[in-house]
Amino acid sequence: KSSDIDEYLRVAIDVAKEAGKVICSALEVEKRIETKESLADLVTETDQQVEKMIISTFHQKFPTHCFIGEESVSSGEKCTLTNAPTWIIDPIDGTTNFVHRFQFSCISIGLLINKRTEVAVVFNPNLDHMYTAKRGHGAYCNNTKLKVSDVNNLQNALILAEFGSSRDPEKMTKRVETMHRIVNKSHGIRSLGSAAMAMCLVASGRGEAYYEYGIHCWDVAAGDLIVREAGGVVLDPSGSDMDMMARRVICACNKDIADQVISLLQTVEFERDSEE
Ligand code: IPD
């Protein structure tokens, strides 16, 4: 029901703002940092605290809904996506940026129903940018409607790409080679350190495409809808439909740009987020 969807969006915006306050006050104090899989895969107490706060708020309001949260999965919870309404949450996307006070970190919240994102909120509290989308109703940053760029030639495009958090030498070689190919055929590459922020910038027409192998569902669940609602495309890097649990994504302002980037990509293999 559309009134339900409006309520889901309203609660998600409110909880993202609350989470933003916690993140901003934590910026001022010294952080205890732990590493997960690699030196570049960080978690702080704030990630855990914010995730708990977000999940308990949603759980109280919508007791039948399911959850997938980055830190809950890290601490051993299952990462299974069913058709039931499921909130997919990254309490801080861009944790490394948060640790360094580099201003591209955000809270990413997507509500999936039948495995499709219906409501999306990405809030960057550092810049006070609130990105929202509802399926079929456009995407917004604060009160401005978003629209992707209309560039359709890679030669005139700015591409967002990431090194990701794995430092496996074979994966790194493939990534660097791919970036080398792309940088030679475009205006350039930018690495923001937050998948959700990268997708929001593509949605805002501030870059033409973003791709990454190794992301998780919580990095892209919200960005997926924001890009689509701004008129862009979100695909699997093979060119087929995006698969939320496949740990790989490309989004672009249009199919022409996506195809041109895809033709230069090298596959980097990752285990899926879930096998259901
Ligand atoms: C990371 C960021 C980064 C991407 C990594 C993600 P996190 O998320 O989105 O841009 O390259 O693959 O893991 O760990 O900061 O939530």
Residue 53 is assigned to a structural domain of this protein: yes
| Total number of domains constituting the chain | 2
Q: Is residue 129 in some structural domain?
A: yes
Same domain, 141 and 6: yes
Give the CATH number for residue 121: 3.30.540.10
271 in any annotated domain? no
Provide φ and ψ at 94, rounded to 5°: 95, 45
What would the mean pLDDT of 154-168 be, rounded to a whole number? 95
ipTM exceeds 0.90, yes or no: yes
Instruction: Name the residue of 215, 217, 247 to mutate for ligand 1: max ligand atoms within 8 A of Cβ.
Output: 215
Domain final position from 117, 145, 173: 145
Residues at the binding site are: 70, 90, 92-93, 219
**Is residue 268 one of the residues assigned to a domain?**
no
Identify whether residues 29 and 132 lie together within a single domain: yes
pLDDT at position 44 is 86
pLDDT score at 275: 58
The residue from 118, 212, 219, 224 that is catalytic is 219
269 within some domain: no
Q: Confirm whether 32 is domain-assigned.
A: yes
Domain that holds residue 167: 154-262
Domain assignment present for residue 275? The answer is no
Asked if 139 and 162 sit in the same domain, the reply is no
Catalytic residue (one of 93, 118, 229, 273)? 93
Residues 87-104 have a mean pLDDT of 96
Residue 251 pLDDT > 80: yes
Mean pLDDT of 71-91: 94
The pLDDT value given to residue 92: 97
> What residues line ligand 1, using a CB cutoff of 6 Å?
70, 90, 93-95, 162, 164-165, 193-195, 212, 214-215, 219
The residue-averaged pLDDT of 197-206 equals: 98
Residue 30 has pLDDT above 80, yes or no: no
pLDDT confidence of residue 276: 60
Residue 274 lies in a domain: no
> pTM of the full predicted structure?
0.97
pLDDT score recorded for residue 39:
84
Residues 130 and 91 in one domain: yes
Closest ligand 1 atom, residue 192 Cα: 10
Binding residue positions for Mg(2+): 70, 90, 92-93, 219
